Structure 1
Amino acid sequence: MGLRTLVIIISLTFYTTPNIAQSITDSNAVNLTKYKKIYHNVITTRAFFTNTSNTLKVKDRKSNQSFNLEPNKQDRIGLSLAFRSFNVSYSFAPDFISENKDNRNSKLFNLNLRTFSGQHLMQTFHLFNQKGFYIKNNEVNQYFPETKNFKIGGTTSYIFNENFSFKAISSQDEKQLKSTASFIPNITYYYSKFHLKDNSAFNNLDSSYYSLDIAFAPSYYYNYVPSKNLFLSVGISAGIGLNHSKSRGEDHLTTLLTELSFRGSANYDINNLYCGLHYSYLSLNHNADSGSQVIDNIPFFNIFVGYRFKAPKKFIKTAESINEMLKLKS
């Protein structure tokens, strides 16, 4: 495929953080409570490797036969830089990674964003735009280069325990100091469009499928701090909701939706140097039409190494001016 830029993301996400007046020590970290601390006036850099995709499993409810719709996957490496509400990330799919050597004109664009409001409310956003899919089962393994899948959605979450730090899991601009857990209810919603197309000499396929999911999914997370430098986290959620879907040639259908997700993280830091990994898996299960069941899977794996360093005074002054203009606390 050659070196190709897949993602250039510049996101500005503003949220209110506590007003910090005391002196800053320990690499510009300030304890919010005895359970967590925040890294303030610090630039966070990170190099990362990511593998993610959106795969569909279609199952005939009468015959119990099934097949998988798997994208021609790509592994990406990249760099990111973050300071307060400003985050820049760049990643690409290099040919020297074995997974990327036979992309066969496939495309993958994936965007993941997370924002926080206060100590409790968390919002995540996901977007997948994929082209090039394999149709696989025990008898078939055929590639459809023109087949496309688009998915957009996210999750709104409420973190009950103020001592629990989700930022220690997701962005490392906070640190969990003592082990604690939290109940986190979630509302998950996704819109998906799948277009199966093949105009080869052997096939003339042109079929579309639309789907809207919404579910309420209570979750439980536990952050475990076995030592000063090691941090482990695990979370699981199970939910129920509704799916509204439409296939070409079929009537609109509204059916029961079930959701199951898992997330595990590990992080190790020595002063300003840190490294870690994340793994998550989301599965949405529902009926697609009068005779088919769809299992919609989103796996995500990320491994990273990063470094925090004190921001120059000019950065800090500019950030404070922006916060003042937008009437945000520093």
Structure 2
Amino acid sequence: MGLRPSSKCRKPRGKTRECSPKSKRLDMKSWFPIVAIFSAPCFAQQDSIAPYFREFEDKISTQLFVLNKSNDFVISSENEDVEVNIVPNNKTTLNVGFQYDIVAFSFGFAPKFFADNRDNKGSRMTSFGLEFFPGRWMQRLEYHNQKGMSLEPEGTSVKLYYKNLESTRIGGSTDFFFNRKFSYRAIALQNVQQLRSAGSFSAGLNYHYSSLDGNNEPGIEGGIKFYDIAFTPAYHYNWVIGKHINLVGGLSIGAGINFTNDEGDETTSALYTSSLLLAPGYNSENWFFGANLRASYSDRQVNSGVTVGDSMVYATVFVGYRFDAPEILVERTKQIKSKFQKVKQ
């Protein structure tokens, strides 16, 4: 049976490449992720159908963005009819990001001119991520650590701050998008622009390690660890409103399994997840700006009648500019891709 992907991209005069999809029979043996990492993420039609997206080829995208990211927890006990929210002392960071080809990275700091950074009470937050977009695959890795959190019982005005209470989250996700007319890079990166409205279902695997640790904080005993893995099907749609304006929405609902270690007391339970994405944006030849809001929630039962949910919220506003990549970077990238193409053959 067999299907083999083929791509042919139309590159007009100028600095970008326009691509549109064509479906052909594929050889399943050729589908190896390590090969796909440097495969061209665009497909072309030989007929008159207009392209669905274009790449800003050999361009480096730089952006300045404001980011607020937090990992909240909620512990619920049905037996005692108690619900406690564990909320970090959030920080807003100013970041600089760089994107080239299929890779993106960024770094930032928390300046004092943001109001919520002026009273951090000794708290800290460290977070970074790495994303790859080989063709229709998306690979995301992340690390998030926060120290200094408050316990807020539901239905009361009580707020107990613990400067040593700490949470850590390490993990990632692997996703595959089925529709060749849709490019997720147009959402997560800024080196692709969706030209015509398109949506896509995706199949994903989400895997994370999370922990809550009291660090000998008075009144807080021990810690708890979670190991989560879930299948996360999703749907995303990129609505092209005008030549330069678009609005993206996405929704995912998944399920999996959780392993919990509560001071040596180990339990296994079902895991339920959901996530939401909303991202308006403006995209021109060189300048781009927009906003991105992502929220995810996971819920698992750790003991009889006790459930722990955690949410990850990511909100950012950005502005950026594209410029030509240095020749040495362009040539080096071509050499690497050429080597992987030889392996594929």
1:55 pairs with one of 68, 72, 93 = 72
Deviations 1:142-184 (CA, angstroms, capped at 9, x unpaired):
1111111111111111100011010010011111010111111
2:53 maps to 1:39: no
Alignment of 1:1-330 (within 5 A): 22-25=11-14, 28-33=15-20, 34-84=51-101, 87-118=104-135, 120-137=136-153, 138-199=156-217, 203-248=218-263, 251-324=265-338
Which amino acid in 1 is paired with 2:293? Y
CA gap of 1:290–1:197, structure 2 versus 1, over 3 A, is farther
Q: Which structure has more RCO (C-alpha within 8 Å, separation ≥ 6)? A: 1
TM-score by length of 1: 0.86
CA gap of 1:124–1:80, structure 2 versus 1, over 3 A, is same
Which amino acid in 2 is paired with 1:83? Y
Structure 1, 166-175 or 62-71: larger mean CA deviation = 62-71
CA gap of 1:197–1:37, structure 2 versus 1, over 3 A, is same
Q: Is the 8 A contact 2:104 2:132 kept in 1?
A: no
- Report the CA distance between 1:127 and its aligned residue: 1.2
Deviations 1:254-285 (CA, angstroms, capped at 9, x unpaired):
11111111011111023311101100110001
Which amino acid in 2 is paired with 1:32? C
Q: Secondary structure at the match of 2:222?
A: strand
CA gap of 1:151–1:20, structure 2 versus 1, over 3 A, is same
Which amino acid in 2 is paired with 1:150? T
In the alignment, the residues of structure 1 paired with residue 340 and residue 167 of structure 2 have an alpha-carbon distance, to the nearest angstrom, of 38
In the alignment, the residues of structure 2 paired with residue 274 and residue 50 of structure 1 have an alpha-carbon distance, to the nearest angstrom, of 17
What residue in structure 2 maps to residue 14 of structure 1?
A: none
What residue in structure 2 maps to residue 11 of structure 1?
A: none
Which amino acid in 1 is paired with 2:304? S
Q: Secondary structure at the match of 1:206?
A: coil
Q: What do you get for the CA RMSD once the two structures are aligned?
A: 2.2
Q: Is the 8 A contact 1:279 1:302 kept in 2?
A: yes
- Report the CA distance between 1:47 and its aligned residue: 0.4
CA gap of 1:328–1:268, structure 2 versus 1, over 3 A, is farther
Structure with bigger strand share is 1
Deviations 1:33-71 (CA, angstroms, capped at 9, x unpaired):
111111101121100000001110001122331111111
In the alignment, the residues of structure 2 paired with residue 85 and residue 187 of structure 1 have an alpha-carbon distance, to the nearest angstrom, of 20
In the alignment, the residues of structure 2 paired with residue 105 and residue 113 of structure 1 have an alpha-carbon distance, to the nearest angstrom, of 28
Q: Could you list the runs of 5+ residues in structure 1 that have no partner in the other structure? A: 1-16
What residue in structure 2 maps to residue 3 of structure 1?
A: none
Deviations 1:99-150 (CA, angstroms, capped at 9, x unpaired):
10011221111112221222x2211112111111111121521111111111
TM-score by length of 2: 0.83
- Report the CA distance between 1:86 and its aligned residue: 5.6
Q: Is the 8 A contact 1:197 1:204 kept in 2?
A: no
Q: Secondary structure at the match of 1:117?
A: coil
In the alignment, the residues of structure 2 paired with residue 148 and residue 255 of structure 1 have an alpha-carbon distance, to the nearest angstrom, of 24
Deviations 1:218-273 (CA, angstroms, capped at 9, x unpaired):
11111100111001110101111111102126x31111111111011111023311
Which amino acid in 2 is paired with 1:316? V
Amino-acid identity (%) = 28
